[in-house]
């Protein structure tokens, strides 16, 4: 009984802030403190989401957004991890190319959007490119940091037992750097959702970013907030999936934490 009461208390405690926020959001326009023309109550937003589901438009917009975000994110993950492992392991190469990378990473993905459009057109490729650029840098930098902070004792121990460089790289460096790599991937996932909105607001006919902007332009404010809420849930879902993948590949870390606690 105590276990269930503790679970219920924890559930309420963790959701209390969201409940309070929704109540304030509902009351502000209902009481006339904020005009409904600018802030639709959550109940009206839920009705707008239900309309999206009933018409089938929800799945069209979500599918378009998922396709664009995943295409850019997958390319960013692949290239960011590969280049990050190389830079973290080969210090001379990192010293040579790091100034150029530091210059590039200061350039906002949104500032480069006109360049992407010039070279790649206004279609899907340019949208994937801006998402890639936004997600690439946190993945790259966290991968480099993860490799650099691998415990030197682990590497020296493997070398003392006659392990080759490729073996150390595969069996020591990559697993030990995995927590840092996945931190970068989850940050990249968050950044790709942010970039997705900007990418879909230009030259798109579908996607949640397009839906938000289009609803604002035709003054369907509940639908605009519905798109924002759905985009937030899309980001939460993506982060949850990445967290599951991280837990799958870093099981050893949990065992290490338990050993240290004991």
The residues spanned by each domain of the chain are: 1-36, 40-261
pLDDT given for residue 73 in this prediction: 92
Which residues, in sequence order, are CB contacts of 141 under 8 Å at separation 6+? 84, 105, 184
CA distances from 134 to 106, 160, 190 (A): 11, 41, 9
pLDDT, mean of residues 191-201: 84
Token readout for 75 is: 């390319």
Please state, as a whole number, how many other Cβ atoms lie within 10 Å of the Cβ of residue 256: 11
Token readout for 42 is: 């959550």
- Residues of the chain above pLDDT 90, percent: 23
**Is 130:109 a contact under the CB 8 Å cutoff?**
yes
CA distances from 81 to 58, 142, 169 (A): 33, 9, 13
**Is 154:168 a contact under the CB 8 Å cutoff?**
no
pLDDT given for residue 75 in this prediction: 94
- How far from the centroid of its chain's Cα atoms is residue 112's Cα? 20
pLDDT over 60 (residue 247): yes
| Mean of per-residue pLDDT scores for the chain | 85
**Is 133:112 a contact under the CB 8 Å cutoff?**
yes
User: Cα–Cα–Cα angle for 234, 237, 242, nearest 5°?
Assistant: 125
pLDDT confidence bin for 260, thresholds 50/70/90? very low
Query: How much helix, strand and coil, in percent to the nearest 5, is found in the chain?
Result: 85, 0, 15
Side-chain half-sphere of 207: how many Cα atoms within 13 Å? 24
pLDDT over 50 (residue 89): yes
Distance CA 192, CA 194 (A): 5
pTM: 0.83
Q: Which of 132, 137, 2, 139 is nearest to 69 (CA)?
A: 132
What fold does the segment set 40-261 form as a domain?
MetI-like fold (1.10.3720)
- How far from the centroid of its chain's Cα atoms is residue 22's Cα? 24
Token readout for 181 is: 């790599």
- Specify the range with the lowest mean pLDDT, choosing from 2-11, 21-30, 44-53, 188-197: 2-11
Distance CA 154, CA 176 (A): 9
pLDDT, mean of residues 126-149: 91
């Amino acid at each position: 009984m105590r276990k269930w009461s503790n679970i219920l208390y924890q559930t309420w405690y963790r959701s209390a802030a969201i409940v309070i926020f929704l109540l304030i959001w509902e009351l502000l326009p209902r009481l006339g403190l904020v005009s409904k023309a600018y802030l639709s109550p959550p109940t009206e937003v839920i009705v707008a989401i239900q309309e999206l589901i009933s018409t089938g438009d929800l799945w069209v917009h979500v599918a378009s957004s998922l396709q664009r975000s995943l295409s850019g994110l997958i390319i960013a993950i692949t290239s960011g991890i590969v280049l990050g492992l190389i830079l973290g392991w080969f210090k001379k190469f990192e010293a040579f190319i790091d100034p150029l990378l530091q210059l590039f990473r200061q350039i906002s993905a949104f500032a480069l959007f006109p360049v992407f459009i010039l070279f790649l057109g206004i279609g899907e490729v340019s949208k994937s490119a801006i998402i890639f650029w936004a997600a690439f840098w946190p993945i790259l930098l966290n991968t480099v940091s993860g490799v650099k902070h691998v415990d030197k004792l682990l590497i020296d121990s493997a070398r003392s037992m006659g392990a080759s460089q490729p073996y150390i790289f595969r069996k020591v460096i990559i697993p030990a750097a995995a927590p840092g790599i996945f931190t970068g991937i989850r940050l990249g996932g968050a950044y790709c959702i942010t970039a997705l909105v900007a990418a879909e607001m230009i030259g798109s006919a579908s996607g949640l970013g397009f839906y938000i902007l289009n609803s604002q332009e035709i003054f369907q404010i509940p639908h605009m907030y519905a798109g924002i809420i759905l985009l937030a849930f899309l980001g939460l879902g993506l982060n949850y999936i990445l967290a599951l993948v991280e837990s799958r590949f870093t099981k050893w870390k949990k065992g290490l934490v338990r050993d240290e606690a004991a």
